[in-house]
Amino acid sequence: MNNQTQTHIPVNAQSAMPGSVLMNVGGALALILLIIAACAWVARRAGFARRLPAGNQMMSVVASHSLGQRERVIVVDMNGKRLLLGVTSTQINCLATFDAPEINGNTPAAGTPASFQSTLMNLLKKRTVEFPK
């Protein structure tokens, strides 16, 4: 008179429990969001995601060059002047000030960024012509 009912749950039914499906979907979503965030961070650090200049923008970065992990030299146009700035993690120093170049046919178009080296060399040539030693 030993009537014991034994219920056997198939192995496939255990893996299809609602909690495990939710964990699988949630984990996949979290992984996809993490990959998107990592790609955006890499694109920003590499310079692929440059901001487009607005029409009423008072200041624009012409060129930038990394000197170390947290040090940069930046050429900035602002109010008809071109500034050479040294930027560290704690401060910003104005290294030199130049007049903004006139726009003529032989300069690169506004949409194509010039290399940092060519921009700096042009500024230094203009400075030595204006102030001979």
Q: Going from the first residue of the chain to its last (133 residues), give the mean pLDDT of each consecutive group of 10, the final group possibly shorter.
A: 61 60 90 95 76 64 87 88 91 88 57 69 72 52
Q: Please give the sequence-ordered ranges of beta strands (E in DSSP) within 1-133, or none if there are none.
A: 59-66, 72-78, 81-87, 92-99
Q: pLDDT value at position 103?
A: 65
| CB 42, CB 51: distance < 8 Å | no
Q: pLDDT value at position 125?
A: 79
How far apart CA 61 and CA 119 sit, in angstroms, is 12
Q: pLDDT value at position 121?
A: 79
Q: pLDDT value at position 12?
A: 56
| CB 59, CB 78: distance < 8 Å | yes
